[in-house]
Structure 1
Amino acid sequence: MIMERRNQPGVSLTGRGPAAHVAPGTVVAVLRITALAGGIGGSRFLRGLLRAVPDAEVTVVGNTADDITLHGLHVSPDLDTVMYTLGGGIDESQGWGRAAETFAVAEELAAYGAEAQWFTLGDRDLATHLVRTRMLAAGYPLSAVTEALCDRWQPGVRLLPMTDDRVETHVVIAGDDQTERAIHFQEWWVRLHAEVPARRIVLVGADQAKPAPGVLDAIAAADVILLPPSNPVVSIGPILAVPGIRDAVRAAKAPKIGLSPIIGGSPVRGMADAALTAIGVPTTAAGVAELFADLLDGWLVDTVDEAATEQIEAAGISARAVPLWMTDPDTTAAMARAALDLAEEVRTR
């Protein structure tokens, strides 16, 4: 029989400590971690997490609100970035797309004048989208499709889409005549580089969506729930917007620990500042912590933001300052250990 996981002396949330000292033949419970993640930052953190606690059972609830249809194909950028990064197929220089990619199809599409040339799909990447689109057309839900794709990549985590329903992040901008119009998030992010100010960010379909199978169970069963340094507005925000998910995280008994995607007033990567501005949240480590204040037990900030810990603690969130630049695998693994250390501290206080 597997022994009870929570609050047992043989189980350590850090992957160290008492769990290493058990009698021969004893069945040691596996640390269960659930992470809400999307994008490059979240994927790189997850790689460090697996390095830090290789024996943990990790479930990733991935953002699907930046999914888009291009050339008739269903593209899931955040799910694919997690899958490729953890499966060893990512283009490391970009942090997205396939390694050793070629672009023969994209060149031919451009020669035909096909639309969406601002979003280039590589030849290897196209195979993923073809398989996904074919399976969806055959009636399989996105969660089953994602599981099938992960059979090939073996990412070392259970990757779940936040929902099987279609949810899209749209950005409301002003046109040349100042008339408001909504565009898909990918167009704002990739084509416009978020240089056109967003008046609002709207999650189309989120209010009618349901959590994908396994999502709520993974949250309820977790020993630790992590919010990696993903974009808080367009990666983590849409996940929490699916009815039932935010409530499940709030109600979970596990410690909820987040890592700031903002260091020294600037995003670790990407244009999260533009998205935060659109929803009226300061581009600071404390500002993002307060965005998730109803959920968090602990929040890690970079050492340059150590002064912000007092403000974060005043909001009822335990805060610690540690190095958060994901410069190499060892540093990223140390970040993950720091998050688990804070979870253990919160759990035992």
Structure 2
Amino acid sequence: MNQIGPDGVETLPHPLIDVPAVPASCRSVLVERARYEWRPTDGGDPAALAEQFLAAHGLPVTDLTRPAAHESTGVCGAALYVSAAAGALMAGGPTGAPNPAPALPELAVVVYGHAPRVAEPPLSPTQGRWWLGEWQDSWTPRQHAAAVRAVRAAIGRGDVYQVNVVGHAAARYTGDPGPALARLAGLPGARYGGTLRGDGWMIGCASPETLIEVTDGRVSTRPIKGTRPATAAGRRDLLASAKERAEHIMIVDLERNDLARVARTGSVRVDELFAVRRWCDLWQAESTVSAALADGLGLAALLRAVCPGGSVTGAPKHAALHHVAALEPVGRGAGMGALGWVGPGRIDLGLTIRTAAADADRLHLWAGGGITWDSDPDAEVAEAAAKAAPVRALLAAD
């Protein structure tokens, strides 16, 4: 465990905070006040520890239905990062293979306060020119396809209805990874574009997907399932695909069930179903599920209900997590977790798809897709590559 108290250095320039979902009006005046990082060797329940740390620093997270207002002085809010492994632990499932970037924590909570407005500092000097080496995949296309076939066999046995299968790749780098990871926020459709960094690690996110949003006591999730090239023909094909629609509706039903665990009875509803939206060069199908939170519900209970996200696990969630742990040779690390903002009266966490992370000398990237009975192994391998391609290209740019 790593906990850092207030820095107290008000006179130094403060870096621009670009955590996904940070209030736009506060980005240039935020300063880090305290930090908590958790790894499995620390023990304890990461959901409860996150809630306790935030509450101890003045954020109202023990009852998310209680009205709270953002203040222009004092604590503004906090960045919250939950890895896929921490989410699996919160759900009572297996955490899977080890994190390929062990410098990354599995949970990070960073509390920010307001500081006097200052000019943005210059970018940190690079350690030589930025260079990114060749990506090395943790499994071959043939191994990826074999995992797809294994999931189809499990579906045939009745073990699961759907499992999300994710691959990992890593590339050596030299220089400062900060500017490269920050560029991801500029990808079209990156609703949760931004970064979070710590000692020896950094995460860059270009996610379009909402894991959980809480405003005025109402909770929403926006699962994304179904992908096609962003062409007119691709859009028509996505809308007409029985396979993609069935896969999507399975996850919508799973998310309805997840929200029902923390909602007022009878309040869960599907606000939008199978809306086609664009991310970079892909069409994707998105739905919105919402509910009124149960009275007295705290952040820890909410995280246990929704983590890890159903669109990156499968259905039923617990059974899918066991197949993920058995099939994926490398841990999901910063991918397929959650990253966003917790503030007074507002929580907004994106699902960390289209997400990369840096450790001391390598960049890491994860991509995959949901597997159903109708999945074609070669098509699933190609879809994962299509999702990773825009991120890889932007990270390689000078």
TM-score by length of 2: 0.23
Higher relative contact order (CA 8 A, sep 6+): 2
